[in-house]
Amino acid sequence: MAYKKFYITTPIYYPNNPPHIGTAYTTVVADVIARYKQSLRYDVFFLTGTDEHGMKIFREAKKRGFNVKEFVDKQAEIFKKTWSKLLISYSRFIRTTEKDHEETVKEILKKMYESGDIYKGYYEGFYCVDCERYYTPKDLKNELCPIHLRPVEKLRMESYFFKLSAYKNKLLKFYEENPEFLPERYKNEIISKVKEELRDISISRPKKYLEWGIPLPFDENHVAYVWIDALLNYVSGIGYRRNEKEFSKYWPPDMQLIGKDILWFHTVIWPAMLMSAGLKLPKRILAHGFITIGGRKVSKSAGARSLDYYIDKFGVDILRYYLVRKFSPFKDVEFNEEELRSMTNAELANTLGNFVTRAFALYSRYNEILVFTEKHHLEVEEKLKNAVEKVINNADRFIEELKVKELIEEIMRVVFMLNNYFNEKEPWKLAKNKQYEEFIKVMFNSFETLVHIAALLYPVIPQSMNSLFNYLGFEKPLKIVELKEYGKNIDFRRIEKIKPILFAKL
Ligand code: ME8
């Protein structure tokens, strides 16, 4: 059977500083989506990476006394290391200083140039190096960058321009014909801005002003504007030119997850560039709000401690779980250590973890009775079976609709249901009173439901669910599509006789 492809991307981050809670938010959610899609038998390509050219990186490297290339090499390694600690399962980590990316950028810019969409002019305006973008006087707040509230630089220089204004009607038509493309929450805002003020954009700088970038293929004296270079990572990342087979299999992206700060680049400039280069457009750009601490957007300079701090303090799974449980495509969310602690204690340690410990303890104690049960004596509890099947049947739709948080809540409802079932049936009393038939039924359904929960939660908390699968007698985690019909998965002879603690209480 040919599996459906699913190409998902995160922004590529500026590596001037290590990743933080904000960048982890996008990356963990993208990872969870990628893992769900994989578990549902999609052929997934998951791309992330680092955005290594531009003024910001150049200045940071100089400030710290580094050769720029050595600096980005070192910083990219920090990203990779942190993502590996967070169990991010990317298919490729792309760096914009890689040769094949640079070749792709030149190739695409050449196409845009040949389409007649690029011309030479003079740029005059304001630039925020932290944003790596231009602002008009109208955009500024008290003459400061509206995002960073820091001074902008007045620039005047020769530059190449992309005729973005020529794409106004094409973009509007595209949005109309592809209602899924724009994120719901920002749709009207983007459309009215496109109608009002679509200006051509500067896409290069003279080399004598900034040499850290990719030279334009039609004028070696200019380097590409960092955003034009960066957006094309989504093209080079799956092997444009270098690996035609891979590229034609995965292109175009199915889901591009971003923060709301970079909407304009992804919903306006990016599709216009692709139209100009004659490439198919992405299916969906999905944006989320910011993570805040004390009401302020988390960034490398403000608010949060290092990711290592959080990972070491809480553990990978707990941090991943909390980030996903907080996820919202609609509003900003506050990251709060106290809430993290109480939420994960209530849901993971006290409910799921506690249930697992009790169920395994009881299993170990009455192991001999359970191991010798004949398969045909096992009776399915319809209520649990239906609850599990309902979640499985809806999982793909939830993911498609970016309802990751809601999907986890649905799964947790099954966990709560299972916990209640166990408490109501009191299997420890059944065993003690030698009501073995009923005892076996309760234990069988408990463990059978547990295997399903393990598969359903694996994409979010892979470390603990991997262990749970092992305790349940599986060598490796089962994908959702690898689960057999409810009632056919558990083999009492393979379950381990232990008393596992899955989550330490915080
Ligand atoms: O913009 N809350 O890189 P960047 C939520 N290189 N998400 C946050 C966040 C927060 N407080 N802080 C950061 C760039 N993010 C460009 C992108 S793509 C072709 C080039 C996440 O390092 C969020 O996804 O500034 C946001 O869009 C991204 O990091 C910005 O990362």
Asked if the structure places residue 89 within a domain, the reply is no
- Which atom of ligand 1 is closest in space to residue 300's alpha carbon? 12
Predicted TM-score (pTM) of this structure: 0.96
pLDDT digits (tens, 9 = 90+) for 405-417: 999 999 999 999 9
Atom of ligand 1 nearest to the CA of 260: 27
386, containing H or E segment: helix 382-400
In a domain, 54, yes or no: no
Contact 111, 128 (CB under 8 A): no
| 290 pocket-lining for ligand 1 (C-beta < 6 Å) | yes
Torsion of CA 50, 199, 279, 183, to 10 degrees: 70
499 SS3 class: coil
Q: What is the predicted pLDDT for the residue at 303?
A: 57
At 301 the pLDDT is 61
Does residue 235's CB lie within 6 angstroms of at least one atom of ligand 1?
A: no
Cα gap 107→142, rounded to integer Å: 41
User: What is the 249 CA–ligand 1 centroid distance (Å)?
Assistant: 27
Tell whether ligand 1 has an atom less than 6 A from the beta carbon of residue 127: no
At residue 375, the pLDDT reads: 65
Residue 190 lies in a domain: no
Q: Domain holding 476: CATH number?
A: 1.10.730.10
A 10 A CB-CB count for 26 gives 22
Number of domains, the chain: 1
Q: What is the pLDDT of residues 271-285, one digit of tens each?
A: 999 999 999 999 999
Q: Which of 99, 88, 82 has its CA nearest to residue 33?
A: 88
460 falls within a domain: yes
- At residue 161, φ and ψ (nearest 5 deg) are -125, 150
Q: How far apart are CA 101 and CA 79, in angstroms?
A: 19
Q: Is the CB of 11 under 6 A from ligand 1?
A: yes
Cα(10)–Cα(23) distance, integer angstroms? 9
Query: Is 261 a member of any domain?
Result: no
Beta carbon of 14 within 6 Å of any ligand 1 atom = yes
Cβ(23) – ligand 1 distance below 6 Å: yes
- The reported pLDDT for the residue numbered 223 is 97
List beta partners, residue 207: none
CA 55 – ligand 1 centroid, Å: 17
Write the DSSP assignment of 7-25 as a string of letters: EEEEEEEPTTS---HHHHH
Q: How far is CA 249 from CA 31, 39, 219, 232, 351, in A?
A: 20, 19, 33, 17, 42
Distance CA 64, CA 207 (A): 22
CA-10 nearest atom, ligand 1: 24
Residue nearest to atom 3 of ligand 1 (CA): 13
pLDDT in tens, the chain (506 residues): 568 999 999 999 999 999 999 999 999 999 999 999 999 999 999 999 999 999 999 999 999 999 999 999 999 999 999 999 999 999 999 999 999 999 999 999 999 999 999 999 999 889 998 888 888 888 899 999 988 888 999 988 999 999 999 999 999 999 999 999 999 999 999 999 999 989 999 999 999 999 999 999 999 999 999 999 999 999 999 999 899 999 999 999 999 999 999 999 999 999 999 999 999 999 999 999 999 999 889 887 655 688 999 999 999 999 999 999 999 999 999 999 999 999 999 999 999 999 999 999 999 999 999 988 776 567 899 999 999 999 999 999 999 999 999 999 999 999 999 999 999 999 999 999 999 999 999 999 999 999 999 999 999 999 999 999 999 999 999 999 999 999 999 999 999 999 999 998 88
Neighbours of 484 (CB within 10 A): 11
Please tell me if the CB atom of residue 323 comes closer than 6 angstroms to any atom of ligand 1: no
Enumerate long-range contacts of 384-388, CB under 8 Å, 24 or more apart: 384/414, 384/417, 384/418, 384/421, 384/445, 384/448, 384/449, 384/486, 385/486, 385/487, 387/413, 387/414, 387/417, 388/414, 388/449, 388/452, 388/453, 388/486
Amino acid at 340: L
Output the six-digit token pair for 457: 């939660």
Six token digits for residue 7: 């190409």
Q: Which of 343, 320, 314 is nearest to 412 (CA)?
A: 343
The response to whether residue 469 sits with its C-beta less than 6 Å from ligand 1 reads no
Contact in structure between 481 and 39 (CB atoms under 8 Å): yes
Q: Which of helix, strand or coil describes residue 317?
A: helix
6 in ligand 1 pocket by Cβ < 6 Å?
no
Domain hosting 438: range is 337-482
Which of 12, 13, 55, 291 for a ligand 1 pocket mutation test, highest count of atoms within 8 Å of Cβ? 13
222 within domain boundaries: no
Please say whether the beta carbons of 478 and 448 come within 8 A: no
Q: How far is the CA of 22 from the centre of ligand 1 (A)?
A: 7
CA distance 370 to 377: 11
Q: Are 340 and 314 in contact (CB under 8 A)?
A: yes
Nearest CA to ligand 1 atom 19: 231
Is 276 domain-assigned? no
Query: What is the whole-number distance in angstroms between the Cα of residue 23 and the centre of ligand 1?
Result: 6
Kindly give the number of the ligand 1 atom that is closest to the alpha carbon of 292: 11
| pLDDT confidence of residue 187 | 97
- CA-CA distance, 364 to 358, in Å (whole number)? 10
- Whether 269 lines ligand 1, by a CB cut-off of 6 Å, is no
Residue 118 bridge partners (DSSP): 162
Does the Cβ of 236 fall within 6 Å of ligand 1? no
> Per residue in 330-340, pLDDT tens?
999 999 999 99
Give the Å distance between the CA of 64 and the centre of ligand 1. 23
In a domain, 406, yes or no: yes
5-13 sheet: strands from edge to edge = 92-95, 43-50, 5-13, 255-259, 285-288
- Give 454-505 pLDDT, tens digit per residue: 999 999 999 999 999 999 999 999 999 999 999 999 999 999 999 999 998 8
Of all protein residues, whose CA lies closest to atom 30 belonging to ligand 1? 13
DSSP character at residue 218? T
